[in-house]
Amino acid sequence: MLEKYFWKREDKIKRNYDIDDVLFEKMRYATDIYDAGIADIFNACIMELIQNEDVRLYETKESDTYAAHTFYVLESNVAGLEKLNTKYGVSIRKLVNIAIRNVFEKEL
């Protein structure tokens, strides 16, 4: 039952990802609502994408801006992103932004 509320302890890997500024602000806003940091929200978004494989490409606009952010990412999430990259041929950068966008389309 505890796994429903807590993640099992797992090593984390420091990674840099370019995140759409709008999506990063949504993650920051979520930290005001949930008892979680940005890295926790980020990891949850990645987990959701890995589990449901809802890899939908979104149209990007020229006005979209991206900034590099550093996260401690669960090892299983790094491996899962690499598998999705191989399976769908979508860059890790895009997969990360897709993961965040998918969650926040449903949540906020």
What's the pLDDT tens digit per position in 57-80? 888 777 789 999 999 999 999 999
Q: What spatial distance separates the first Cα and last Cα of the chain, rounded to whole Å? A: 27
What are the structural domain ranges in the chain?
A: 11-107
| Domain over 11-107 is classified CATH 1.10.1220 | yes
Q: Quote the pLDDT of residue 1.
A: 57
**44: Cβ–Cβ under 8 A, 6 or more apart, which residues?**
36, 103
Percentage with pLDDT > 90 across the chain: 79
Q: What is the pLDDT of residue 60?
A: 78
User: What pLDDT score does 108 carry?
Assistant: 58
Q: Quick one: pLDDT at residue 99?
A: 97
**In the prediction, which pLDDT does 59 show?**
80
Query: Could you tell me if 16 and 2 are in contact, meaning their C-beta atoms sit under 8 angstroms apart?
Result: no
Sign of the torsion angle spanned by Cα atoms 104, 28, 50, 59? positive
Please give the pLDDT value at position 63.
75
Residues in the chain predicted with pLDDT less than 50, given as ranges, are: none
Q: Which of 26, 93, 18, 82 is nearest to 50 (CA)?
A: 82
Q: By percentage, how much of the chain surpasses pLDDT 70?
A: 98
Query: Rounded to two decimals, what is the model's pTM?
Result: 0.89
